[in-house]
Amino acid sequence: MKIIVLVKQVPGTDSVKLDPVTGVMVRTGKDTIINPLDENALAEAIRIKNTYPDVKITAVSMGPISAMKAIKEAIAMGADDGVLVSGREFAGSDTIATAKVIAAAIKKTGDFDMILCGERATDGETGQTAAMIAHYLGVPAQTYVSALEVLEDGVIVKRTVESGFERVQVTFPVLVSVNKDISDTGFPTLDGKLKAKKVDVPMLGNAELGFDKSELGLTGSPTRVVKIFSPKLSRDTIMVKANATMQPIDELLSFLVQKDVL
């Protein structure tokens, strides 16, 4: 069985920044982590590998060259190899352009049985890319998955829905986006770190994928961030400090009367 795990390198929660001119996420190699839900997807892939024979895990990421760090971390935690999709022509891609490129890169890796990824990324929070990748690959997608059972020719997934849960059986190949309940995240091992240093991770650019430049980056992205602003707080806080039991209550009642609440 071949499992593709999508790992996205994202800024730490306190480091998310947008370019005020282009509306594009600012991505550097500093203060970056693997998207937490992608780590859950990787942990589930490793669980499957440790449970069933002949399972190969390939980590795939799209981003700047610094995203190689995410691939290496995935290998250190248990992936067998990886592929990085990188190039200036991909910068500024929205979810549609990103899904097209990642789907094309997955096709370059050959046949697969299952794609695992997080249901969303902490930087964009759209939750759209996984289903779009499945569309461009022509495979079924199962989203919000909290448990997974491998069968001979497919999987049974437990999906979180508004009314509770539902179980769905689907044949391979399939894309599964997971939530945090799927598996506990793991840690790199010493053997894994040594392997990650030795593994040669290929990079794919548009020369290998063959898109028209009009389909890529900002030009190929039909969605735009049209305005960026910080919300202004219009409320003031009034702090009343007193030792007497009734004084704060009297102050509060007086304030509510002034505001015509009482």
pLDDT in tens, the chain (262 residues): 999 999 999 887 655 556 656 555 565 556 788 999 999 999 999 999 999 999 999 999 999 999 999 999 999 999 999 999 999 999 989 999 999 999 999 999 999 999 999 999 988 778 899 999 999 999 999 999 999 999 999 999 999 998 899 999 999 999 999 999 999 998 898 999 999 999 999 999 999 999 999 999 989 999 877 777 777 767 777 777 777 677 778 888 888 888 888 7
Name the pTM for this structure.
0.80
Q: Where are the domains of the chain?
A: 2-215
Please state, in angstroms and as integers, the Cα–Cα distance from residue 196 to each residue in 5, 70, 73, following that order: 16, 11, 7
Residue 191 CB-density burial (10 A; 0-12 exposed, 13-18 middle, 19+ buried): exposed
Residue ranges of the alpha helices (H) in 109-238? Answer: 129-137, 190-198, 206-209
**Spatial separation of the C-alpha atoms in residues 221 and 83, rounded to whole Å:** 23
- The helix or strand, by DSSP H or E, that contains position 211, with its residue range, turns out to be none
CATH number of the domain located at residue range(s) 2-215 in this protein:
3.40.50.620
Selection from 211, 213, 148 nearest residue 175 by Cα:
148
